[in-house]
A and B are shown apart, each in its own frame.
Chain A
Amino acid sequence: MRYEAPKSLDQAVALLVAEKGEARVLAGGTDLLVQMRTDVVEPALLVDIKGIAELREIKDEAGGFRVGAAVTGAELKEHPKLKAMWPGVVEAANLIGSTQVQGRATMGGNLCNGSPAADSVPALIAAGAKACIVGPQGRREVAVEEVMLAPRKLSLAKGELIASFLLPARPPRAGDAYLRFIPRTEMDIAVVGCGVCLTLDAKDVCTAARVSLGAVAERPLLVAAAAAALVGSTVDAAALDKLDAAARAACRPIDDKRGTKDYRIKVAGVLARRATQIALERARKA
């Protein structure tokens, strides 16, 4: 197994393109090293992207932030302006693993690991984040919800990698939140996760919303019907009932050791309500 630590994206892409065997991008390694150890993956080449400066930065851009794909959860938490603008995203990323894992794990890795239960992904989708994908054909920006297709399956072509996420400027009177359900308080994988972002007008009427669910389908979902249940309402009890029903209707989960289908569907509705209420509080104060 070869190891390369390129200093530029061009070099990283060239290495990925040239490799005939399996090539893996190494960011925090908190999933990849475990998979290598258990022989789930046996790459011929590791491309460590942490030496590429732009992948390690959080920069102001267009009133929002561009977050390098190799920025760690601990670094996100230590960025007060990012945390103030997109608390749901930072909180979601910080639910992943332990303090030790936070010191290494990245949102780029969380997405590219290709798990439907990835915590940061529904939060990024709700926030309307774009992934900047770099490859042999150059750069393209795609909505985060379009990156993952199915477990371990991404819409990235050979030689492509995620360089950064663009979190847009948060509109005035908007707020986001992410909640996950696990049967303990820490150190577990989501049974269901839900990210919500909503915007209010001066009369507290919801003018825009995005709702995303994790761990209830083969990939994290953007649930337009759930968002539509909120838009035009004051996010009152009737709107929350509609939201709950729409969130449940979008679920197509599996039964596994973490939860049954029926349980996941029920929890999805509950989490959508609760995350919406947190996002609402934040929007009112924003």
Chain B
Amino acid sequence: MAKHHVAATVNGDGVEFLCETDETLLDVLRNQLGLTGTKEGCSTGDCGACSVTVDDRLVCSCLMLGVEAGGKSITTIEGMADGEALHPLQKKFIEHAALQCGICTPGFLVAAKSLLERTPDPTETEVRYWLAGNLCRCTGYDKIVRAVLDAAAEMRGA
């Protein structure tokens, strides 16, 4: 059967793509739009490496079909820095060494940004619960949580 013709907004730009029914939004982002910052971990919605926002709602892009993206506004890790200027979360992740292999990092950053947009002054517990769906096998989470809390403090001060 014919592919679906889908028009959406990705990181503020209008995009169009063709996809099969069984292609996920993750497949489309990586393979058709060349946005490989969004990572594939488990493909079953358990690890959060593929986190993006869709109409400002944090989701796993592996648990959404590309065809469902029609008319939606999607933000990926590529939409986070402002040109060369890193987002405060990105800077704090570097400062706190909150990453090692880096596969989970885009998902953590997108998820943390979504938290701070809703909750600018989260408690450590709130950060840990919000990020429970993002798995990291390297860092032990502590540096990630510190980086998010530090970025939140800086963003409130800014």
For residue A99, CB closer than 8 A to chain B, the reply is yes
Q: Are B57 and A187 interface neighbours, CB within 8 A?
A: no
B43, B57, B60: the one contacting A74 at CB < 8 Å is: B57
For residue A186, CB closer than 8 A to chain B, the reply is yes
- Indicate with 1 or 0, residue by residue over B57-100, a CB within 8 angstroms of chain A CB atoms: 11110111101100000000000000000000000000000000
Q: Are B21 and A98 interface neighbours, CB within 8 A?
A: no
For residue A20, CB closer than 8 A to chain B, the reply is no
Which residues of B have CB within 8 Å of A103? 54, 57-59
User: Which 9 residue pairs are nearest across A and B when measured between Cβ atoms?
Assistant: A98-B133, A186-B132, A103-B57, A3-B21, A103-B59, A100-B60, A1-B21, A34-B44, A100-B133
- Interface CB pairs A-B, < 8 A, 20: A2-B1, A2-B21, A3-B4, A3-B21, A30-B63, A33-B24, A33-B63, A34-B63, A97-B45, A98-B45, A98-B46, A98-B48, A99-B130, A99-B131, A100-B48, A101-B60, A103-B57, A103-B59, A187-B46, A187-B133
Q: Are A98 and B132 interface neighbours, CB within 8 A?
A: yes
Q: Are A29 and B21 interface neighbours, CB within 8 A?
A: no
Given A98-B132, A100-B58: A30 touches B21 (CB 8 Å cut-off):
no
Q: A33-B24, A34-B45 are in contact. List 7 more A-B contacts (CB 8 A).
A: A1-B21, A29-B64, A34-B63, A38-B44, A98-B134, A99-B111, A104-B59
Which residues of A have CB within 8 Å of B64? 29, 33, 104
Which A residues lie at the B interface, using CB under 8 A? 1-3, 5, 26, 28-30, 33-34, 36-38, 46, 48, 50, 72, 74, 97-101, 103-104, 186-187
Which residues of A have CB within 8 Å of B54? 103
Q: Give bound CA distance, A28 to B63, whole Å.
A: 8
For residue B38, CB closer than 8 A to chain A, the reply is no
Q: Give bound CA distance, A35 to B60, whole Å.
A: 15
Which residues of A have CB within 8 Å of B142? none
Which residues of B have CB within 8 Å of A104? 57, 59-60, 63-64
Q: Give bound CA distance, A103 to B134, whole Å.
A: 14
Which residues of A have CB within 8 Å of B115? 99
Q: Are A29 and B63 interface neighbours, CB within 8 A?
A: yes
Q: Are B129 and A186 interface neighbours, CB within 8 A?
A: yes
